[in-house]
Chains A and B, each alone.
Chain A
Amino acid sequence: MDAINTMAPWREAFEAFTANDEAAEMGAKARADAFARFETHGMPTRRHEYWKYTPVRGLVPDQEVAALDGGDTFADVEAYRLVFVDGRIDMPRSDHAALSAVADIAGPEGAPWMDGVFNALQNRDIPGAMFQVERPFADLNLAMFTDGLAIRIPDGVALDKPIHLRYEGAVPSHLRLEMLVGKGASVTILESGAGALTTGAEIVIEDGATLDHLRAQTEVAGAQFTALYAQVGAEAAFKSFTLCADAALIRNETVVTMAGDNGSGHVAAGVMGMDDTLVDNTVYVSHEAEHCESRQVIKSVLDGAAKSVFQGKIFVKKGAQKTDGYQISQSVLLSDGAEFNAKPELEIYADDVICSHGSTTGALDEVAKFYLRSRGCTEREAEALLVAAFIDEAILEIADEALQDRMRETTDHWMTARAAR
C-alpha cells in the first residue's frame, strides 16, 4: 500500500471529526496544522530514522482497542480520579468537582494560562539542534483529541493526592493533558488503561515546582502511542516512570526541556514483554540552561519474541554549562527470540558538561541463578528474584515508596503469570 492510500482513511476520519464533533472547535487552527504535518510525514516505516526498530503496520483510525486482564495498577491509590470512556470524561465516575476545588480546570473555551502551554511545547523547535525530530503521533493526537484535562496547580500548592487519568472503552480515542504547575507547587500524575490510542501531554513546570509522573501500560493489548512534553523551570523537577507489559505496540515519546538553571529531569521505564510484543521508549532531553541534571533509566525484561526499543538523546545547547546528563539502558533476554535495540545519542554544544550513556544486553547471571537454585528455589523462582532485582533499579526512580510497591506488585504479578505458563 502506498503512502497516500494509507493516509486516506485518516484524512476521512479527521474531516468527519472536524465536521461533526464540537471538541474540534478548540484549537481548530493548531489541529489543522498538526494534521497536515501528520499527513505529510505519513505512517512511520523502517525508512524513518526514528522508526527503524518500530515499524507501524496496518494502523487504521477505527483500530480495535483491546485490553488485557490484570486490572488497574492504580485502582486502590487514593487520587483525584478522572475516568475517560470512549474518549469522553465519565463525570459520575470522576472527581472533577473535588479537583476543581483545589486547582484551576479550564473548560473547552480554554484559559489565559494555556497560552504558554497549549501547542507551545509540542510545536517548539529545539534551539540550535542539528535537526528537529518529527513526532507524527503527537501531531495526530493534537489534531484529533476529543477530551482531556487542562489544569493549573496554583503557585505553592502541594496537591494532597495524585491526579489519576484513567482510559477505558473500546473506541480508539485520542486524549490530551495540558498542564501548568505553578511556582513551588507539586503534584503527581498517574495514567493507566488501554482506552486511548494516543495520549498527548504538554506540561510546564514553573520555577521550584515538582511533577511526578507514573504511567502503567500493563493493560494495553493493542497499540498505544504517547507523547509527553515537559518544560522544567529553574530548580524545578520532573520525574517520570512508565511500566510497560505485553502490548502489541507501544511507543512512548518523552521530550523534556531543561529551561531553567538547576533543574532536574528524570525519565525511567520498566519494560516486560512476552510473546510477539513491542515496546518503544524514545526520550529527548534538551538542556538549555546551566547546572541541570538529567537521567534516563530504561530496564527491559524480554521473553518469547518480545522486543524493546530505547532511543535516548541528550542535547546540550551552547552555553548550557555544568550540565550533568546520564543515560542507561539495560535488558535481560529470557529467550533466544527476544530482542533489544538501543540507540543512544549525544549532541553537545557546551564545553563544561558531564554526559554519559551505557547499554547492556544479556541473559540472567547463570552463577547467581545456580546459587539460588542450590538453596532450593525453583528455576522460575530464581528468575523471578533476579528479574525483580533488575527492574527495581528503574522502580527506585519513583519518589513515592507506596507507588514503588504498587509497581513491584505489578512486576511480581507478571513474573508469576510467566511462571504459570
Chain B
Amino acid sequence: MLKIDNLHCQLEEEPDTKILKGVSLEVPAGEVHAIMGPNGSGKSTLSYVLSGRDGYEVTGGSASLDGADLLDMDPEERAAAGLFLAFQYPVEIPGVGNMIFLRTAMNAQRKARGEEEISAPDFLKLVRAKAKELNISPEMMKRPVNVGFSGGEKKRNEILQMALLEPKMCILDETDSGLDVDAMKLVSSGVNAMRDAGRGFLVITHYQRLLDHIKPDVVHIMSAGRIIETGGPDLALKVENEGYADLISAA
C-alpha cells in the first residue's frame, strides 16, 4: 500500500541539512508497522514529507500510495487519496469551529473523489457516535479546533478526525507523547478499532509502551535518516531493554 523507496530529503532553506538519507520501507494493507529511533533520526520529517508539508526538498527516491506518486500531489490530494497524518503537535486554530472544520474536510475529500457530500444530519450522527467512543464531550466539539484542549484531548481529536475521514493509510507521529496511561489506552483502542485488512498503519514512537497497546506486525529502527534494522515486535522490546546504541554502532 505505502511504498517508500530510497527517499532522500533536505531542508529547503538549508540545503546542507540532509535529513532523510535513503529511507526504504513498505507497509502492505492490513499491517501495522512501527518506526522507532532516537531523537533527530528523521522520523517526524518522514511523516511531514509524506503528508506534503512545506520546507522540505525531496532530492531523491520515491513514495507512493497504491501506486500513485505521493510526492507529486498537494497535501489535500494526498488526503483525498487516503493518507492521514496524526500530528505530534496538533495545531490550534482560533476562530475555526471543530464541527465546521470536520465537515469542510470531509466534504472536500468526498468532492475530490467524486462522491456526494454528507448531509448535515448524517454528519452530526456520525460525529456524535465517533466522539462518544473516544470520550470527547459535545462541549469540546463546539470549541475552536484544538484551542484550550489538553494534550490528551488534542490527541483524541486527531484520532476522531482519523475515524471520520477513514483513510486507508494512517501515519501516527508520536501519538503517545504527552499522554497518561488512561489516555493512551483510549487512543490505542480508537486506533485498534480501525485496524482492518484494507488499511495500513505507520506508527512513529520513541517508546515501546505504545506498542503494548497497538501491536505492530513489523518494527523498523531509524537512525540518521535511514532504516537500520527491521524485525518483528520483539525488536521493540530489545530496544526498550538495551537502547539504540548497539544497533546504531552495528549499522
> Quick check: which of B10-18, B85-93, B174-182, B192-200 contacts chain A, the rest being far away?
B85-93
CA distance A385 to B74 in the complex (A): 18
B residues within 8 A CB of A388?
95-96
- CB-CB < 8 A to B112: which residues of A? 376
User: With A372-B101, A374-B52, A389-B96 as given contacts, are A379 and B91 in contact (CB-CB < 8 Å)?
Assistant: no
In the complex the two chains form, what is the Cα distance from A377 to B93 in whole Å?
Answer: 14
User: Of A365, A368, A379, A393, which is within 8 A of B74 by CB?
Assistant: A379
B191 at the interface (CB under 8 A from A): no
**Which chain A residues border B76 with CB–CB below 8 Å?**
373-374, 376-379
A385-B100, A392-B95 are contacts. A366–B54 as well, Cβ < 8 Å? yes
The interface size of chain A toward B, counting residues with CB under 8 Å, comes to 22
Nearest neighbor of A387 in chain B, beta-carbon distance: B95
Q: Is A370 part of the binding interface, using a Cβ–Cβ cutoff of 8 Å?
A: yes
CB distance from B83 to the nearest CB of A (A): 9
State the Cβ distance, A186 to closest chain B Cβ, in Å. 29
Closest CB in chain A relative to B11 CB, distance in Å: 15
**Interface residues in A354-375 (C-beta closer than 8 Å to B):** 365-368, 370-375
Taking a contact as CB atoms under 8 Å apart, the answer to whether B108 and A377 are in contact is yes
* Shortest Cβ gap from A368 to chain B (Å): 5
Q: Is B80 an interface residue (CB 8 A)?
A: yes
B: interface residue count bin: 20 to 34
Interface pair B96/A376, CB less than 8 Å apart: no
Say if the beta carbon of A390 comes within 8 Å of chain B.
yes
CB neighbors of A among B62-90 (8 A): 74-76, 78-80, 84-85, 87, 90
Asked if B243 is at the interface of the complex by the 8 Å CB criterion, the answer is no
At the interface, yes or no: B128 with Cβ under 8 Å from chain A? no
A386 and B161 contact, CB distance less than 8 A:
no
Chain B positions within 8 Å of A381 at CB level: 104, 108
List of B residues within 8 angstroms of A365 by Cβ:
93
Residues from chain A with Cβ under 8 Å of B51 in the complex: 374
Q: Is the CB of A376 within 8 A of B105?
A: yes
> B88-127: contact bitstring with A at CB < 8 Å (1 yes, 0 no)?
0011011110001100111011001000000000000000
B15-52 with Cβ < 8 A to chain A:
51-52
Question: Once bound together, how far apart are the Cα atoms of A52 and B144, in whole Å?
Answer: 39
Bound state CA distance, A374 and B170, in angstroms?
12
Bound complex: CA of A392 vs CA of B95, how far in Å? 7
- In the complex the two chains form, is B93's CB within 8 Å of A371's CB? yes
Residues of A within 8 A of B100 (CB): 385
Q: Would you list which residues of chain A between 121 and 151 have a CB under 8 Å from chain B?
A: none
B165–A376 contact, CB under 8 A?
yes
Contacts of B91 in A (CB 8 A): 367-368, 370-371
A26, chain B: closest CB distance, angstroms: 47
A368 touches B75 (CB 8 A): no
Q: CB of B53 within 8 A of chain A?
A: yes
A371 near B87 with CB under 8 A, answer yes
Q: How far is the CA of A375 from the CA of B53 in the complex (A)?
A: 12
User: Contacts of B75 on A, CB cut-off 8 Å?
Assistant: 370, 373-374
CA distance A344 to B108 in the complex (A): 41
Report Cα–Cα, A106/B164, bound state, in Å: 61
B93 touches A375 (CB 8 A): no
Q: How many Å from the CB of B173 to the closest CB on chain A?
A: 11
Interface contact A375-B165, CB-CB below 8 Å: yes
**B residues in contact with A367, CB < 8 Å:** 91
Assembled-state Cα–Cα distance A371/B96 (Å): 12
Question: A365–B91 Cα gap in the complex (Å)?
Answer: 10
Contacts of A371 in B (CB 8 A): 87, 90-91, 93
Contacts of B109 in A (CB 8 A): 375-376
Residue of A nearest to B108 (CB): A376
Cross-chain contact A389 with B79 (CB below 8 angstroms) = no
Complex-state Cα separation, A379 to B79, whole angstroms: 13
Residues on A with beta carbons closer than 8 Å to the beta carbon of B104? 372, 377, 381, 385
Do A378 and B108 have beta carbons less than 8 Å apart?
yes
- A299 → B minimal CB distance (Å): 11
- Mark B216-249 against chain A: 1 for CB-CB distance below 8 A, else 0: 0000000000000000000000000000000000
Q: Which of the residues B85, B105, B106, B144 comes within 8 Å of A372, measured between beta carbons? A: B105
Top-4 shortest CB links A-B: A389-B95, A376-B109, A375-B105, A376-B79
A-B contacts, 21 listed (Cβ < 8 Å): A368-B93, A371-B91, A372-B96, A373-B76, A374-B52, A374-B53, A374-B79, A375-B101, A376-B76, A376-B108, A376-B165, A378-B108, A379-B76, A381-B104, A381-B108, A385-B93, A385-B101, A386-B95, A386-B96, A389-B93, A389-B144
